[in-house]
Amino acid sequence: MLELFPQGFEEVERPGAVELAAYTDEAGEELLRRSFGAAVSSEVRPDWEERWREFHRSVRVGPLWIGPPWERAPEDAVAVVIDPGRAFGTGSHATTRLCLELLLELRRGSLVDLGSGSGVLAIAAAKLGFGPVLALDAEPAAVEATRANAAVNDVRLDVRLADALASLALPQAETAVANLSLEAVLALRPRLRCERAVTSGYLAAERPALPGFRRLARREAEGWAADLHERS
């Protein structure tokens, strides 16, 4: 869906399924049908330009508040403002929240975000006192979004266009974060150069093992999981 509709799409949890909805024209509808084999279409209400904001709600993870720019963070929160118009996630997905829960428990130090997307995890880490923070992503649009969101949040990140799965050597850092997919985490595991790794993007039933690391903690929510690993 990100490849087809990089400008954004809606993800809604349904009983036993996840519904993905793209707001597009006839050409986009035809592309959707060719890609997935079947799709249901309906007319968009005239007030969609304002109503789309209803789908982007803020979340609270400990002291962190992650939300869109039109909402106001509580006075006692560390605010991470993410523009959902830039796609790649706003921090509300369970895997992002689980990674943040684990980061909150860690000793501060250098950190690399392998697949930064909109920059939620890298920006939150910088706000929590991690540093220096390096954010990598293979998508130019994600790099642009991370840089823009970092500027809005007034944090300093080293943001680079790089494919963590194809790079000859991964950057060295005390903590690595990889909220990707099970396949990507498994591909990264022999190449990590860190003391601790926070991994997610996979289901709770899946338990990736990292060679040379031991699992210290696990968080689960809504059928997803995140793990904290420490070099053994």
Instruction: Give the pairing of strands 175-179 and 196-203.
Output: parallel
pLDDT digits (tens, 9 = 90+) for 128-170: 999 999 999 999 989 999 999 999 999 999 999 999 988 778 9
Euclidean distance between the first and final Cα of the chain, in Å? 38
Determine contact, residues 173/111, Cβ cutoff 8 Å: yes
For position 27, what pLDDT does the model report? 87
For position 1, what pLDDT does the model report? 86
Phi, psi dihedrals of residue 189, rounded to the nearest 5°: -55, -40
pTM of the model: 0.79
Q: Report the candidate in 205, 187, 106 with the shortest Cα–Cα distance to residue 121.
A: 106
Rg (CA), the chain: 18
Distance between CA atoms of residues 29 and 9, nearest Å: 13
Taking 3-state DSSP, the helix, strand and coil percentages for the chain, each rounded to the nearest 5, stand at: 30, 30, 45
62 is a domain residue: no
| 99 lies in the same domain as 28 | no
Determine contact, residues 196/176, Cβ cutoff 8 Å: yes
45 is a domain residue: yes
5 is a domain residue: no
Q: Is the pLDDT of residue 18 over 90?
A: no
| Least confident among 42-46, 80-84, 151-155 | 42-46
Q: Is the pLDDT of residue 2 over 60?
A: yes
| 144 lies in the same domain as 212 | yes
Residue range 23-44: average pLDDT? Answer: 85
For position 87, what pLDDT does the model report? 52
| 217 lies in the same domain as 111 | yes
Domain containing 33 equals 10-53
DSSP helix/strand/coil, 70: coil
| Least confident among 50-64, 161-175, 188-202, 217-231 | 50-64
